[in-house]
Copies of this chain bind each other. A is one copy, B any other.
Amino acid sequence: MTAESTEPSLVTAAVLIIGNEILSGRTQDTNLAYLAKKLNEYGIQIRQARVVPDVERDIVEAVNALREHHDYVFTTGGIGPTHDDITADCIAAAFGVDLVVSPEIAAILERRPAPPEIMAARMRMARIPRGGGLIDNPLGPPGFFIGNVYVMAGIPRVMQQMVDSLAGKLRRGATVRSRSVTVYLPESQIAARLGQIQQEQPRVDLGSYPFQREGRYGTMLVMRGTDACALDATLAEVSRMIVELGGEPLDIQAD
């Protein structure tokens, strides 16, 4: 009990990726993997991700389902100046509030002069839900947040700047650490022993990922958890198992 009460609790997140281009396969998403690593540095764990099309009903439904069950929701995509950029409208609808023009974003957009029609289009990006705050973006107009929902660009280098700017501004929970080891044994050969080790180490997530490399079958074993001692103990057990099964523990990593 004492150990549990002094340890930081998990802070959870969901990621909502908005965009027809991801669902059609035209664009390969890379934001989820970046977000996962960066948010873990912040002590936040992604527990679910969804990809939805540029359709209001789908976006609103997903935002409301996810924000209820996670400490944070991070969205990517749909915050540009064109008609298919409907994320701000949908977030406002999900929270039941109006969109208002953010004077800070408007001032940033007005720094670059443009004819009225172009400026009007750009001003779409100044609209944020009433009550929202801004997410800094050194590359252009800010993103925004409202409640526990953080709304960011879909373009990876812009999204990355935005999430980087959130460092220190979010509630921090436990950081998940990992250990990994590779062995050239097929999964089925280690499965029984591995299951026993997992049972003995309930605080560690022990994952097994098979691969084939240069014609040889191998398995990468990954241990994840917030308790470094439990991780090290599990790594030692897994390494002992590998040796006893006639394999060699290779490429041991810790982070």
Residues of A at the B interface (CB closer than 8 Å) are 19-30, 32-37, 40, 46-54, 58, 80-85, 114, 117-122, 124, 155, 176, 178, 187-192, 194-195, 198, 205-211, 222, 224
Say yes or no: A32 contacts B21, CB within 8 Å.
no
Please give the count of copies of this chain that the complex contains: 2
Question: Which 5 residue pairs are nearest across A and B when measured between Cβ atoms?
Answer: A25-B36, A121-B191, A83-B195, A49-B51, A82-B208
- Chain A interface mostly: mixed
Given the known interface contacts A48-B58, A120-B192, the answer about A24 and B224 at a Cβ–Cβ threshold of 8 Å is yes
Which single residue of chain B is at the shortest CB-CB distance from A185?
Answer: B118
| Chain B CB within 10 A, most for which of A80, A83, A118, A122 | A83
Other-chain contact of A207, B20, B46, B121 (Cβ < 8 Å): B20
Across-interface contacts of A52 in B (CB, < 8 A): 48
Say how far A141's CB is from chain B's closest CB, in angstroms.
Answer: 11
Q: When the two chains form their complex, are residues B21 and A25 in contact, meaning their CB atoms are under 8 A apart?
A: no
Chain B residues lying within 8 Å of A124, measured Cβ to Cβ, are 191
